[in-house]
Structure 1
């Protein structure tokens, strides 16, 4: 049975990515994927508006969306988390967001302007549970605290 659950999740995520990629392609911004054009160093986000809170981590850690996109964080763990705005890097966008996400629940936020929007879970800490939504042409070349255990505090963000 667990193999079926995994197969269904993989199929569902592939469908979400295909739809998100198609929508990004319709918006005229790039090719709608982070395929072979990516640097491979994790500086570009996965094109998706769905972020899972799973195994005490945000998945994906980096998400890329077009301006005007509503991002949904869904808690797939059996315990609570939160999504709290922060600025790990000098060039990160300032935003105000702090929402609790009980087990099995979701929260959303619509990103209207281009920028790198960083966040973390205050319950589990930035070293293990953080993320960034890259909106529009924003990119983040620096590491997040949960990617390497430190935030460099530098810019690392470009548009």
Structure 2
């Protein structure tokens, strides 16, 4: 009986952090396939992928996309809650200020699709939660396509 109580006590104490980790919003946490949401306003375009692929910012924040490759990418809206379609030449940058809460989908028209395949990402703004963060670096081959 004493051993059982010790076992239950240890088990209950060791599961509390796991349960607590499941109850929070996905802003700054992790999702399926080890996908994470990072609190940053700086995004790198490299190896045919956005890094990080999921970010969270406060409303009114300007996000900067920097093309670290020597070939073109685009920053293009894939959701209807915003409008952007900007070509970013190698070593170039573009910005967008997100004024309203929400989740904004982004893709590169050259290396991704509006269905968020290939080179794509999500931006969570304000109190919005990215329910299904994009995983890993799928779609980015890391090779120069030219």
Bin of the TM-score, shorter chain as denominator length: 0.5 to 0.7
Please tell me whether Structure 1 or Structure 2 has the larger radius of gyration of its CA atoms: 2
* Higher strand content, 1 or 2: 2
Structure 1 pair 110–39 and aligned structure 2 pair: CA distance change class (3 A): same
TM-score using structure 1 length: 0.61
1:128 deviates by 1.5
Once residues 131 and 99 of structure 1 are traced to their aligned partners in structure 2, the CA distance between those partners, rounded to angstroms, is 15
Kept in 2, the 8 Å contact 1:128–1:146? The answer is no
Query: How many residue pairs align between the two structures?
Result: 109
Determine the structure 1 residue equivalent to 2:23: none
1:101 deviates by 0.3
Determine the structure 2 residue equivalent to 1:139: 129
SS in 1 for 2:76: strand
Determine the structure 2 residue equivalent to 1:70: 62
Once residues 31 and 105 of structure 2 are traced to their aligned partners in structure 1, the CA distance between those partners, rounded to angstroms, is 20
**Which of residues 102, 110, 115 is equivalent to 2:97?**
110
Kept in 1, the 8 Å contact 2:43–2:52? The answer is yes
Deviations 1:40-75 (A, max 9, x none): 536762000000000100000001100000000000
Q: Which runs of 5+ in 1 are unaligned?
A: 1-32, 88-92, 150-159
Determine the structure 2 residue equivalent to 1:82: 74
Determine the structure 2 residue equivalent to 1:128: 118
